[in-house]
Amino acid sequence: MKANLEGEKYRQGRIEVVCGSMFSGKTEELIRRIKRATFARQRVVIFKPQIDTRYSEEEVVSHDRNAVMSVPLSTSTEILEYVQNHTTSTEGYDFDVVGIDEAQFFGMDLVEVCNQLANNGVRVIIAGLDMDFQCTPFGPIPALCAVADEVTKVHAICVKCGALAYVSHRLVHDQNQVLIGEQTEYEPLCRECYKKATNK
């Protein structure tokens, strides 16, 4: 039985989803959970889709000797390959926690990958946009919410009225679902303000 310094009994693998609009603090919540795990000397890795070119591979969590690198990958099967290639143990994987940021940009096979990790004792923490800028469920996130052990929906604040935001409204005219850009190209809006802004 592995020691767990978080005051919780060692658990089997699990899937946790942190979803919400932009500016809702999803990544911050992912990092908070990852950081807590590194304090407990758990073995941690974070993946993010290669499509997110705003950042290169970088250290996202650092505490003395504990540093967690965020590894950019193109496909979700590469997540499994990375974990397997960095495992020497014959019993399970050499990672306690796998974080996946911006998970909406991975394909639907991410669901199977996360299940396989969790079924092999890994705690999988996923952060991603639940909806795109047109309020359409985004990529594998809805399916991941369905198979998750725990789902946390976080909210930004509507820039128009101060209510809890519902969607990331795109301020530029581009119909592609995937638009990586500066944060100034989006604003968080509540349902009512989104209706007004889009004349729906």
- Residue numbers in the known binding site for ATP are 20-27, 101-104
Question: Which of 73, 164 has the CB closer to Zn ion?
Answer: 164
- Identity of the amino acid at 125: I
For Zn ion, the binding residues (CB under 5 A) are 158, 160-161, 163, 190, 193
Question: Which of 147, 197 has the CB closer to Zn ion?
Answer: 197
Residues designated as active site? 102
Question: Which of 61, 189 has the CB closer to Zn ion?
Answer: 189
Which has the closest alpha carbon to 4: 31, 32, 30, 43? 43
Write down the least CB distance from residue 164 to Zn ion, Å. Answer: 9
Write down the least CB distance from residue 192 to Zn ion, Å. Answer: 6
Question: Which of 31, 193 has the CB closer to Zn ion?
Answer: 193
Write down the least CB distance from residue 145 to Zn ion, Å. Answer: 24
Write down the least CB distance from residue 166 to Zn ion, Å. Answer: 8
Q: Annotated binding site: which residue ranges?
A: 20-27, 101-104, 158, 161, 178-181, 186, 190, 193
DSSP code of residue 65: T
Euclidean distance between CA atoms 103 and 106, whole angstroms: 6
Residues in contact with 53: Cβ distance below 8 Å, sequence separation at least 6, in sequence order: 180
Long-range pairs for 51-58 at CB < 8 Å and ≥24 separation? 51/105, 51/178, 51/180, 52/102, 52/105, 52/180, 53/180, 54/180
- 67 near 61, Cβ under 8 Å? yes
Q: Annotated binding site for Zn(2+): which residue ranges?
A: 158, 161, 190, 193
DSSP code of residue 58: E
